Every structure is written in C-alpha cells, then in structure tokens.
Amino acid sequence: MIRRLKILLLLTVFTGLGLCAWLVHYAVSPLKLKPSSQEISIQSKSGLRSIANQLVAQGVLQEPWRFILIAKLLNKEQTLQAGEYTLNRNISPYHLLLSLNHGKTTKGSVTFIEGRTFANMRQKLAQNDAVKQTVQHWSDQQIMHALGANYTVPEGLFFPDTFYFNRNTTDIALLKISYDAMQSKLNVAWQNRASDLPYKNPYEALIMASIIEKETGLPSERPMIAGVFVNRLRMGMRLQTDPTVIYGMGAQYNGNIRKKDLLTDTPYNTYTRNGLPPTPIAMPGLAAIEAALHPAQTKALYFVGKGDGSHAFSNNLSDHNRAVVKYQLKK
C-alpha cells in the first residue's frame, strides 16, 4: 500500500512538472501570426475568458484555455485592459499577456543599446515595422540638421534606452526623443560633476564616457577606468585605448587589431595622438557618463584585462608589464 502511494505521488509530481514545462514552452513560443503585424480589438469590460475568446475569434489564439491558465497562474486576470492593439508576428502568449496587462495599445518599441554606434541605431529603426521610414536616404549630417543639433557628427549624442511609441511614428521623431534625452541627462550630470576635471565642456565628458563604455567589461570598474584615463589626461599622457583605434579603422576592422593598426595615424588613434578623439565612439549609458564625471580617486595609470571581464590596475609601467605577462601572456 505504501509503495503504491509513493508511486502515485511520484507520478503526480512528474505529471505536474511535465505540465509546467509544457505551459512554459507554450507561453514563450512565438504565435507566428500570418500577417507581419495584426490589429486586434479587446472590448471594454471584458473578463479573462471573454478576452481569450476574442483572441481566438480574431485568429490570434487557436484555443482559449491555455492562455486563461497562464493568466490565472501569473495572477494577471484582473489587470487586463481593453483597447486597440497591434501585435508583431512573433509575439508570444506571455508577451501578449504583458501587453494587455500594461495597456500597450497600438504601440511599437525600439531598443538602443549602450556601446553601439549611430549606424546601428539607424539599422534598428530601418528594420522596425512599427516605424514610419523618412530618413533612409538622408546623410547623418542631414539628420543632425533636422534635429536642430549643433553637431554634424551624430555619434554618442543619443541616449540608449527602450522607447515605446505609437505605430507609424517617424524615425526622425524617435531620434529626436533619444537625442533630447541624452542632452537632458548629460546636462544634469555635468552640473553635478566632480571638481577639477580635465574636460572643457559636456561634449568632452561625453567622448570620455563613450570610451569608458567600450572599455568596461565589469560595470563596477567604470569609475576606476575613468580614473586611469583622467589621470592620463591631466599628465598629458596619451590615452592609448584600443576601442578608439578600432573606431577609426571603420570598415577595415575585421575583428583583429595589429601593431600596424596601432601605428597607423587617424584622428581616433589615441596611440599616435594626444588627448581625446574628436567625437564619441559609441552611445554611452548613464553609468558611463557618471563615471566620466565622478572618476575614482586613484594613482593608477594602466590596466590590463584578466580574461574574465575584469582588469588589473597598476600605478607604474613595471607593475603593468608584470600584469601583462601574468594575465595576457599567461606566464
């Protein structure tokens, strides 16, 4: 009798785990709607069962009960909102539930990522089916002029974040939102900066922040990396940072940086030129901006990667060379 109970209990547990795994798989799998995007309407004062049936009737769901079960398990049944929604083709039942829960009616979204370039921003906007395309054939300079910016080079001047918008919002309108966000956040950070920094203006701080963004593998090290570069600027020592060289190489960069590349002069080669490069080299996030404006108080002048995303910092060249041997040459 006890053995049968144990077997029954095990079967119950395995059945429950199997059911959970099946539901999770369903929840995160793309619905693969036939059109690239689909407009749906959820009637006001609809309960969970009614909403699920409406989704079936509009061809979004094949049957209602799995969606109902997920909503109940996640305790979302009382927070679903009526309205007009636009669904992307590969939306999952879970993200559909979140959209109905947050009331993200007829909205699209785009995410600009820290450390990426303006070219990547333009590509993301061009590939987003919720964005109305207007600047595909414009030059970067034309875009900056349309934004009313005082700069002709757009790199680094846009804030990386996820932006939600009404479908058919123009690409230039979204760039304006991101541009204004960066200017606002940079100005606030500049007003609250540490004293005695070697920057003439907020733009130079933004350039430094972009270098910090590209050099940092471990977020907690941003202030230390900033401290090293600030120390070098104060001393008139060259920054000698690979990401600026890579940016200056442009399309010639194939994933490897050679000694020849470090010796080839470009406006962005901080091995051959003093001071900061002429523009940012990527979009810095707010943490990198704060690090540039609040660097760590340190005597370090060098750092080398340990191979795990972190760095070894050194105050002098002898210690740095030993760290290079230890972490890079593995001796």
Q: Return phi, psi of residue 114, to 5°.
A: -55, 140
Find the mean pLDDT for residues 40-55: 90
How confident is the model at residue 34, as a pLDDT? Answer: 76
Closest of 275, 295, 289 to residue 206, by C-alpha: 289
- The tens digit of pLDDT for each residue in 108-165 reads 788 999 999 999 999 999 998 788 999 999 999 999 999 999 999 999 999 999 898 8
- The tens digit of pLDDT for each residue in 238-256 reads 999 999 999 999 988 988 8
Find the mean pLDDT for residues 77-91: 82
Residue 204: pLDDT over 90: yes
- The tens digit of pLDDT for each residue in 262-317 reads 999 999 999 999 999 999 999 999 999 999 999 999 999 999 988 888 999 999 99
Residue spans per domain, the chain = 26-105, 109-188, 194-327
Which tokens hold the place of 224?
Answer: 């230390």
As to burial, measured by CB atoms within 10 angstroms (0-12 exposed, 13-18 middle, 19+ buried), residue 251 is exposed
Give pTM, 2 decimals: 0.70
- The tens digit of pLDDT for each residue in 174-186 reads 999 999 999 999 9
Is 3.20.20.70 the CATH number for 26-105?
A: no
CB 49 within 8 A of CB 56: no
Q: Return phi, psi of residue 132, to 5°.
A: -80, 120
Q: How far apart are CA 207 and CA 128, in angstroms?
A: 28
